Amino acid sequence: MDVGDFVWNHKHGVIRFGTITEKKVDPKGWASFTVDWHPPPVAWEEEPLQTWFRVDELYLVDPVYLMDAVLQRRIF
pTM more than 0.85: no
DSSP lists the bridge partners of residue 33 as 23, 53
- Total tally of structural domains belonging to the chain: 1
Please indicate, yes or no, if residue 1 is contained in any of the structural domains: no
Q: What secondary structure letter does DSSP report for 3?
A: T
Range of the structural domain that residue 41 is part of: 6-73
Element housing 22 (H / E)? strand 14-25
Q: What tens-digit pLDDT sequence spans the chain (76 residues)?
A: 999 999 999 877 888 899 999 999 999 999 999 999 887 656 666 655 678 999 999 999 999 999 998 888 876 5
* CA proximity to 20, closest of 32, 33, 38, 39: 33
